[in-house]
Amino acid sequence: MDELEHETPHRPAQSRRSLVPAFVIAAIATAGGIVLGLVIPWFPPAADTQAKSIDTLYYVLIIVTVPVFVLVETVVLFAVVKFRMRPGEEMLDGPPIHGNTRLEIIWTAAPSAIIAALVVYAAVVLRHIEHQPAGEIQVQVYAQQFAWSFAYPPAAPGAKAIVSSDLYLVKDRPVRFRVHSSDVLHGFWIPAFRLQIDAVPGTTQSFRATPKRMGDYDIVCTELCGLGHSVMRSTAHVVTPAAYTAFLASRGAASALPAAAGPGALAAMGKRVFTSTGGCGACHTLADAQTTGSIGPDLNKYLKGKSEAFIRTSIVNPNAYVEKGFGANIMPANFGTTLSKDELGAVVKYLANVTAK
C-alpha cells in the first residue's frame, strides 16, 4: 500500500484516434513531396544514352525516400506536440507503455527490405551503363590543379596522340574515359551525361558514355582541390564525325607553325594559346587579351621587364618562381606536354611582347 501511495503519477496515454490527423498530414505531405520531386528540373537536358537510366533511378529514389522522410518527421513532430511537458507536469512520468514486438519487427524488416531492393536496382543500372558497346574509343582524361586535358587516340600507328584542353566527342560514338590525376583528388563530372568519377592520384578510374545530342556541355571538378577549384572547368563538344575529324586535323596543324611564319602569325598563335588552348585567361589578367582572371598574378605587372627565359620557365615549371601573395601548386605544371613546341614558343613570345609595352 505504501509503494502505491508513493508511486510517481503518470500523464494519460494518447488514444489511437489522436494519430489520425498526423497520418492525414503525412499522406498529404508525402503526395506533395513526391509530385514536387518529380516535376523539379534537377538536371540539364540529357546528352548521352546512359542519362535515362540514371534519371529513372533518381526518380525511384525520390518516390521511395520521400515517404520515409515524411514518416520519420511526422513521428518526431507528433511526439514533440503530444508528449511535450506542459506547466505543472514537471514531476510526471510518461504514460506506462510496453514494447510492441510486431511493430519492432516491422520497422526493422521494412527498411532492410527497401534498402536491399534499392541496392539491387542500382547494381542493375550500373551494370547496364557499364556495358561495353561495339566501336568504343578511349579518351584519356588528365586532371591537374587546376585544369583538364584530354588525349585522343593517334590517327595512325606510331603517330603522336593529340592533346586538348577541350573535350571533343562524336554523336552516337561510344567512348570510355580513363581518368588520371597527377597531384590531388579531383572529380570529373559532365552534368549533362549524369556521370561522375573521382580522379585519384596513382590509379586510373574509368566510365563509359555514348553522346546522343550535339552541343556544348560543361565539365566541372566536384572535389575541392585547392585555391583554383572554382575555375577548373572545361567544355565537352559533341559534334558530327566530320567535325571531329576536322578538329583532330586542326589540332595537328595548329600546333605547328609554317617554316616561313612571320611575327604576325606568331603573335596570333600566342594569343590563341593564351585565351583558348591553354586557358590562361581564366586565371590571369592580361590587358592585350582582355582577360581578368584573379587566381594567378596580374601578368601586366608580374611579367613586365621579364625575359623570355623567365616566362618559359614560369609556364613549364610554375613553382620555380612563385609571386608574393600566391601559393605554390596553383598553376598546372603540364603545359610542357599539353602545348606543342611551337605553341609554347608562340605564347612565350606573345607574353614577352605585350607586357614589355
pLDDT in tens, 214-234: 999 999 999 998 888 888 888
The pLDDT value given to residue 190: 94
The pLDDT value given to residue 162: 77
Rounded CA gap, 120 and 63, in Å? Answer: 16
The pLDDT value given to residue 1: 43
Rounded CA gap, 179 and 223, in Å? Answer: 14
Q: Which of these, 255, 291, 305, 306, lies nearest to 314 by C-alpha position?
A: 306
Which residues in the chain come in under a pLDDT of 50? 1-5, 254, 256-261
Question: pTM for this one?
Answer: 0.64
CA distances to 72, 156, 225, 249, 356 from 200, rounded to whole Å, are 37, 30, 11, 31, 41
The pLDDT value given to residue 4: 46
pLDDT in tens, 273-290: 777 666 677 778 888 888
The pLDDT value given to residue 273: 77
Q: Where are the beta strands (DSSP E) in the chain?
A: 137-144, 147-152, 162-164, 167-170, 175-181, 186-190, 195-199, 205-209, 215-221, 233-239, 285-286, 291-292
The pLDDT value given to residue 193: 93
The pLDDT value given to residue 328: 74
82, 83, 86, 88: CA torsion to nearest 10: 130
